[in-house]
Amino acid sequence: MIINLLEVFVVLSLIAAFGSIGVASIVASRRSVPGSGYLAATFLGCAVWCGAYAAELMSASLDAKVFWAKVAYVGIVIAPPSWLLFAAAHVGLLPSRRITPFLYVIPAATLVFVVLATDVGLVWSQTYIASSGALDMLVVDHGSWFWLHTVYSYACMAAGSTLLILGVVRQVRALTLQAVVMVLAALLPWVTNVLTIFQIVPVYHLDLTPPAFALSILLMLMALWRLEAFEIFPAMVTIAHHTVLREMQDGVVVTDLRGRILSVNEAAQQLLTAKRNVAGELLEDVLTMTDGDGNTRTLEAAAQERDGLHVLIEGHSAAMIEGVVTRLGRVGSWRGYVLVLRDVTEREATTRALRSSEERLRVLFDKSPVAVFVYDADLRVTECNDLLAKLLGISREAFVGSKLTVANASSLLSYCETALRGETSTFDGPFRIEGGEELWLQCRVSPLFSDDGPTGGMCVAWDLTSAKRAEALIERLAFHDTLTGLPNRSLLRDRLRQAIDEAEQGGTSVALGLLDIDRFKTLNEAIGHGTADELLHRLARRFEAVVRRGDTVARVAGDEFAFVLPSMADTAAALRMGEQILGALRETWELGGHTFTVTGSLGLALYPYDGEDAFELLENAERALRRARDAGGDRQQFYDLSMNLEAAERLEIEQGLRTAIAEGQLDVHYEPQISLEDGSVRGVEALVRWHHPERGLLMPASFIAIAEDSGQIGRIGEWVLRQACTQVANCNAKGGSELRVAVNLSPRDLLSGTLPATIADVLAATGLAPHLLEIELTETAVITELEASCRALEHVRDLGVSVVLDDFGTGYASLSHLHGLPIDKVKIDRSFVARCEEDEGAASIVAALVSLAHSLHLRVVAEGIETPGQAKFPRSLGCDEAQGYLISHPAPADSCPAFTCWQRSTVAIGASSWLSSLDV
């Protein structure tokens, strides 16, 4: 066991050493990250420490162990100050280069004392080998300097970690899990070192620090991979640099809000005459900005001024450099600044030459790097150079001699008029001539004088269009994905917060969906990276076509998309939208010579039920995504379990209905309708039932509404109509009777336009006489589309079929529209009949409804009769028919009393006895 423990420590130390080297190489390659060099030095120190400790454990002699222990101190003294300098550089608090070397004074002295040990006992006063179990371990007695260096190292690590935490919180606005993991990973080896030095947790005199480094390296890699604080700005600047800034003639400097330089293009590097890489330095240490009066300006002040700024650069005093500062980001959430520099030495020299000599003006016009034109007191152009003509998109000959108007001078016209009054003015803004594209010009318009006063003016124009477009591109790169053009994670958060704010004000819901393509890595390897990128691009277009206007589709990771869906009515609506999104993904793809299908896992969270803010909603949507992915993919998952169960149950019923008819799961039950005069059977009402294979017998209330929403109600209604007509026609044929059947239809059936034709086809196919069929429709269904409903019902009645108004009294047709409806019978709703015995109000309503219907020559049916008293009152009012559980429960055709009594040629189903008792 002891030998195995030694081997484990050696292996872990070597893993930590090689892992540190790997992390150091990754970090060193990210030169755009401030302080990356110091972070690489930290990990190199860790690599030396862990590797030397592994060699020490494997050495047998005291001299060999002492040698490797001294080598380990090279890494031990380098890591702590390097960590502190990395943290300071990353948060913009890096001390000057003169002070930095002093942080390594104590480590350097410690290293010297270690080399001289034990002759000089300040760090090691004595070394020897002690047996601990079966291990021979190097034991060191420490001197006073060792404790000084230990306190110094712990102070450096604590200060660096504190700075990093504060910096990350300020940058990402929240203490993310990745940031915490990164800091804890950095502190873990040092905490372990404390436990070892003070023998708080002794393990055979083994140093726990290198194994702790193995875990620390793993956690650090995870944090660096996920921590957006190290990804957003360097990635943005790199993309902009390679796509736009590198080819610009103007110098461009990108800084953060604190003025720390994130990147410069080649033109800016030349203007700054800096041979070193200035990324990570403060802008104020590199150049000074002043206004026209020589007052120093900060970046924020410069961004608020419209006029150009003068820029002073050390060692470049002979040149005249102007700058324009623009904020980067959005109002209320600025991300940094963009400083565009231009060497205007030639421009200023040209301007002075033009003022002093008209003859020199003509010579300089064609060679001037700026656009120039001259006009007289009548605003007529007397001269211009080719650069200006090219800028305006017209020939030089056509422009010279023309008069300045709004058409050819646009917004410059008023500045030209100001110059004729002897005033110099500047213009910086959009410029458009008739039929031309919009430019962004910075112009200086000056008057030309003679002894009699102003005789005209001269305009010197600087084209800033490319700089403005560069700013717009940088803005787009900061908030949009370069491959798909969709919003990225940063813009997604803004859109989500906005949707949540609007939902909170309007009392609505917001659905957030996160979609991950199943097994995308395998697919990527199979079809190639280029084809995979094309798949992502086309997939983005499909998603945009599926969602509604006002929804947001974003790409937040390699194969992860996000959907912000405001104004969701309920979970069912979100579920339907999610199914549409997954359906768009499942369609067959033909790309790069490959034909394949793709599936995805979709996690859904609904505001305000699954989160109070954007951050919590994102977290919960990610949890739902993980559950969908863990369940095998190709599905969607709600975060909340109860919502998920409800939605899943609804979806299960909807999908089950699609096969219910084909698999014979639907059945028709019949409820008899008798005459309240003599108890004879007049007919039956057909009621659909579903024999679900897992849930058992389902009543219509549990699936009819879902059938309506999913568009399946038409198939179900036609099946019930055909089945009921067939069974009643067979019953009548056997008993020589005329049993009547009533079938309920959906509002969709009524307004489909095919209802009369469907009924005629069913009657012809089943042989049922038209006068024996009644079509029942609810009062609300008829009134919703009154005119169209009346036309459809007239066609139905022309077939000889009767029309019954169901749930009579629950809507508003009874008073305002009943007279004009093409109906033959009304059914008083069971809610009134059930209360007529104990509720005088309900009894009055029933009496009024019966009287109103009879006055319109309509027959009346009282439904829901369950007690003799409930039957007695409608009978006393002259109500024609009744149905309910008192008479018979709904039953299949082979056991329904109405069918069996007709086949026995009888006229009543046991109703005569209790019916006659009602007269007592």
Residue type at 541 in one-letter notation: R
Per the CB < 8 A criterion, the answer to whether 383 and 400 are in contact is yes
Which residues is 110 bridged to in the sheet?
Answer: none
Query: From CA 691, how far away is CA 696, in angstroms rounded?
Result: 5
Query: From CA 203, how far away is CA 208, in angstroms rounded?
Result: 8
**Strand 439-450 to strand 425-431: parallel, antiparallel, or no bridges (unpaired)?**
antiparallel
Count Cβ atoms below 10 Å from residue 885 Cβ, excluding itself: 12
Structure tokens belonging to residue 619:
């977290």
Q: What angle, 0 to 180 degrees and rounded to 10, lies between the N-to-C axes of helices 105-116 and 144-172?
A: 150
User: Residue range 606-628: average pLDDT?
Assistant: 87
pLDDT of residue 800: 94
Structure tokens belonging to residue 148:
């000084």
pLDDT of residue 225: 59
Structure tokens belonging to residue 377:
């007191």
Confidence at 766, pLDDT banded by 50, 70, 90? very high
Structure tokens belonging to residue 306:
């419209």
Angle CA 137–142–145, to nearest 5: 145
Confidence at 324, pLDDT banded by 50, 70, 90? confident
Confidence at 315, pLDDT banded by 50, 70, 90? low
User: Residue range 194-218: average pLDDT?
Assistant: 68
Query: From CA 612, how far away is CA 208, in angstroms rounded?
Result: 43
User: Residue range 586-593: average pLDDT?
Assistant: 86
Residue of 809 and 747 predicted with greater confidence: 747
Q: Which residues, in sequence order, are CB contacts of 437 under 8 Å at separation 6+?
A: 393
**Strand 509-517 to strand 560-568: parallel, antiparallel, or no bridges (unpaired)?**
antiparallel
User: Residue range 43-69: average pLDDT?
Assistant: 87
Q: pLDDT tens digit string along 517-528?
A: 988 888 888 888
pLDDT of residue 690: 92
Q: ω before 608 within 30° of 0 (cis)?
A: yes
Average pLDDT taken over every residue of the chain: 80
Q: Is the pLDDT of residue 910 over 60?
A: no
Q: Is the pLDDT of residue 483 over 50?
A: yes
Q: In this structure, is the dihedral angle defined by the CA atoms of residues 838, 839, 845 and 848, taken in order, positive or negative?
A: positive
Task: Please classify residue 387 by burial: count the beta carbons closer than 10 Å to its beta carbon, then call 0-12 exposed, 13-18 middle and 19+ buried.
Answer: buried
Which residues is 139 bridged to in the sheet?
Answer: 128
pLDDT of residue 814: 47
- Determine the 3-state secondary structure of 467 from DSSP: helix
- Determine the 3-state secondary structure of 841 from DSSP: helix
Place of tokens 């305000």: 608
User: Residue range 907-911: average pLDDT?
Assistant: 46
Confidence at 591, pLDDT banded by 50, 70, 90? confident
Confidence at 671, pLDDT banded by 50, 70, 90? very high
Residue of 233 and 283 predicted with greater confidence: 283
Q: Is the pLDDT of residue 234 over 60?
A: no
Query: From CA 838, how far away is CA 96, in angstroms rounded?
Result: 93
User: Residue range 535-546: average pLDDT?
Assistant: 90
pLDDT of residue 334: 77
Does an H or E element contain 89, and which?
Answer: helix 62-90
Cα 398 from chain centre: 53
Q: Which candidate, 758, 739, 750, 759, places its Cα nearest to that of 779?
A: 750
pLDDT of residue 136: 75
Per the CB < 8 A criterion, the answer to whether 581 and 539 are in contact is no
Q: ω before 867 within 30° of 0 (cis)?
A: no
Q: Is the pLDDT of residue 264 over 70?
A: yes
Lowest mean pLDDT of 71-80, 188-197, 837-846, 911-920, name the range: 911-920
User: Residue range 829-846: average pLDDT?
Assistant: 87
Query: From CA 625, how far away is CA 629, in angstroms rounded?
Result: 6
Per the CB < 8 A criterion, the answer to whether 317 and 408 are in contact is no
Structure tokens belonging to residue 799:
């077939």
Structure tokens belonging to residue 236:
């943005």
Residue type at 32 in one-letter notation: S
Angle CA 479–483–485, to nearest 5: 50
Q: Give the side-chain half-sphere CA count within 13 A for 476.
A: 14
- Return phi, psi of residue 328, to 5°: -110, 120
Query: From CA 284, how far away is CA 259, in angstroms rounded?
Result: 8
Angle CA 222–225–227, to nearest 5: 95
Confidence at 428, pLDDT banded by 50, 70, 90? confident
Rg of the Cα trace of the chain? 43
Query: From CA 377, how far away is CA 139, in angstroms rounded?
Result: 97
Query: From CA 138, how far away is CA 129, in angstroms rounded?
Result: 5
Q: Which candidate, 662, 685, 648, places its Cα nearest to that of 827?
A: 685
Share of the chain above pLDDT 70, in %: 82
Query: From CA 22, how far away is CA 18, in angstroms rounded?
Result: 6
Query: From CA 688, how far away is CA 743, in angstroms rounded?
Result: 10
Q: Which candidate, 309, 244, 300, places its Cα nearest to that of 471?
A: 244
Task: Tell me the C-alpha to C-alpha distance, in Å, between residue 768 and each of 720, 758, 898.
Answer: 14, 14, 17
Q: pLDDT tens digit string along 838-892?
A: 888 888 888 988 998 898 889 999 998 988 888 888 998 899 999 998 888 999 9
Task: Tell me the C-alpha to C-alpha distance, in Å, between residue 355 and each of 395, 445, 458.
Answer: 25, 12, 9
Angle CA 644–648–650, to nearest 5: 120
Q: Is the pLDDT of residue 724 over 90?
A: yes
Q: pLDDT tens digit string along 439-480?
A: 888 888 899 888 778 889 988 888 888 778 777 677 667 678
Lowest mean pLDDT of 49-63, 202-216, 547-561, 792-806, name the range: 202-216
pLDDT of residue 746: 85
pLDDT of residue 778: 82
User: Residue range 96-107: average pLDDT?
Assistant: 83
Q: Is the pLDDT of residue 327 over 50?
A: yes
Q: Which residues, in sequence order, are CB contacts of 364 under 8 Å at separation 6+?
A: 350, 353, 354
Longest CA pairwise span in the chain (Å): 129
Q: Which candidate, 186, 123, 126, 194, places its Cα nearest to that of 158?
A: 186
Lowest mean pLDDT of 4-18, 543-557, 584-598, name the range: 4-18
pLDDT of residue 914: 53
* Secondary structure letter of residue 296 according to DSSP: B
Angle CA 780–782–788, to nearest 5: 140
pLDDT of residue 686: 93
Strands (E), 735-815: 740-744, 773-778, 802-808
Query: From CA 375, how far away is CA 371, in angstroms rounded?
Result: 14
Confidence at 600, pLDDT banded by 50, 70, 90? very high
User: Residue range 342-357: average pLDDT?
Assistant: 71
Count Cβ atoms below 10 Å from residue 276 Cβ, excluding itself: 8
Q: Is the pLDDT of residue 240 over 60?
A: no
Count the residues in the chain. Answer: 920
Q: Give the side-chain half-sphere CA count within 13 A for 227.
A: 25
Place of tokens 């998109």: 393
Query: From CA 324, how far away is CA 711, in angstroms rounded?
Result: 61
pLDDT of residue 118: 82
Query: From CA 272, how far away is CA 151, in angstroms rounded?
Result: 42
Residue of 690 and 819 predicted with greater confidence: 690
Confidence at 570, pLDDT banded by 50, 70, 90? confident
User: Residue range 303-310: average pLDDT?
Assistant: 71
Query: From CA 238, how far away is CA 347, in angstroms rounded?
Result: 31
Strand ordering across the sheet containing 453-463? 381-384, 371-376, 453-463, 439-450, 425-431
Confidence at 357, pLDDT banded by 50, 70, 90? low
Angle CA 188–191–192, to nearest 5: 85
